[in-house]
Amino acid sequence: MGIGYFKASFYGVLIVALACHAADKTIIMETTLGAIKGVEMETRLGNKFWSFRGIRYAEPPVGELRFQNPQPVRAWKPQIFDATEDGPMCPQITETRRAMLSEDCLRLNVYTRSLNSSEHLRPVIVYLHPGGFYLFSGISLDAGGQNFLDRDIVLVTLNYRLGSLGFLALGNEQAPGNMGLKDQVMALRWVQQYVRRFGGDPSSVTLWGYSAGAMSVGLHMMSPMQQQSDRFGRKTGEIVEVFCATQAGYVEVFERGHSFVA
């Protein structure tokens, strides 16, 4: 076999790969924000579902919005939002995914088996990812529909700000604190407004998390921001670490920390 054979084989494989990619089935979903382009995917068991990834649910928290509470996303119409691939991950320490990091990371993903089905709205699962509030994301590599959409549900996964960008708290207007948790609240508001367009039932939303995600679920259960609304009906989580939450003021917290290390 000569070099010519291997060249022909290589280009043959390349052409097949390009043809398969070009054959991906896409769909355009209309919302009041603008049109969103999604793509058909397949579960591990071979069931088809629609994937809308990297949808912006809040304004990019950059510049004057860095360390600030999330702001509602502005409409992008008449442009079409391309949600056929994963969006960026929030800044974090990583060796393998540096190219995927961006502060413009307040994105969510919607996975559904059926669209615009007003007669049969499906229960919605909103998944909050783990990572100790400084790692990971809601992208499909970590929590995609391929693992869950054999069930007749709508799955929503999301990113929230991590580390100091998400949880620096100075107790003033420059850094009010808990931005990452407030990002989650903003995403839940988005779900309430738009999930019906994806076949989801906004009155049947379950908030689900693991580790830091489960801690987030518990904190939302105690938060006045959630108690004043009916943003989700059920909460569930798996918490490995033992933790507690208090309403101690900043001064008391710093005094306790100083006495611990002194």
pLDDT in tens, 163-196: 999 999 998 999 999 999 999 999 999 999 999 9
Pick the CATH number of 26-261 from 3.40.1110.10, 1.25.40.80, 3.40.50.1820, 3.40.50.20: 3.40.50.1820
Which is higher by pLDDT, 149 or 233? 149
The Cα–Cα gap between 69 and 154 comes to 27
Q: Tell me the mean pLDDT in the region 199-217.
A: 92
pLDDT at 92 over 60: yes
- Strand 234-238, strand 200-210: pairing: parallel
Q: Quick one: pLDDT at residue 181? A: 96
Q: Quick one: pLDDT at residue 171? A: 84
Give the model's confidence band at 247: pLDDT under 50 very low, under 70 low, under 90 confident, else very high: low
Task: For residue 226, give Cα distances in angstroms to 67, 99, 230.
Answer: 21, 35, 7
Phi, psi of 212 (to 5 degrees): -60, -30
Q: Evaluate whether 101 touches 173 at the Cβ level (below 8 Å).
A: no
Tokens of 12: 């043959």
Q: Quick one: pLDDT at residue 220? A: 87
pLDDT at 8 over 70: no
pLDDT at 65 over 80: yes
Q: Quick one: pLDDT at residue 73? A: 98
- The three state secondary structure string of 65-103 is HCCCCCCECCCCCCCEEECCCCCCECCCCCCCCHHHECC
Q: Quick one: pLDDT at residue 17? A: 37
Give the model's confidence band at 250: pLDDT under 50 very low, under 70 low, under 90 confident, else very high: low
- The ranges assigned to domains in the chain are 26-261
Which is higher by pLDDT, 243 or 138? 138
The Cα–Cα gap between 258 and 27 comes to 56
Q: Quick one: pLDDT at residue 12? A: 46
Rounded to two decimals, the pTM is: 0.82
Q: Tell me the mean pLDDT in the region 208-222.
A: 90
pLDDT at 22 over 50: no
Which is higher by pLDDT, 226 or 44? 44
Give the model's confidence band at 231: pLDDT under 50 very low, under 70 low, under 90 confident, else very high: low
Give the model's confidence band at 21: pLDDT under 50 very low, under 70 low, under 90 confident, else very high: very low
Give the model's confidence band at 225: pLDDT under 50 very low, under 70 low, under 90 confident, else very high: confident
Q: Lowest-pLDDT range, 20-24, 63-67, 68-72?
A: 20-24
As a whole number, the mean pLDDT across the chain is 83
Which is higher by pLDDT, 242 or 258? 258
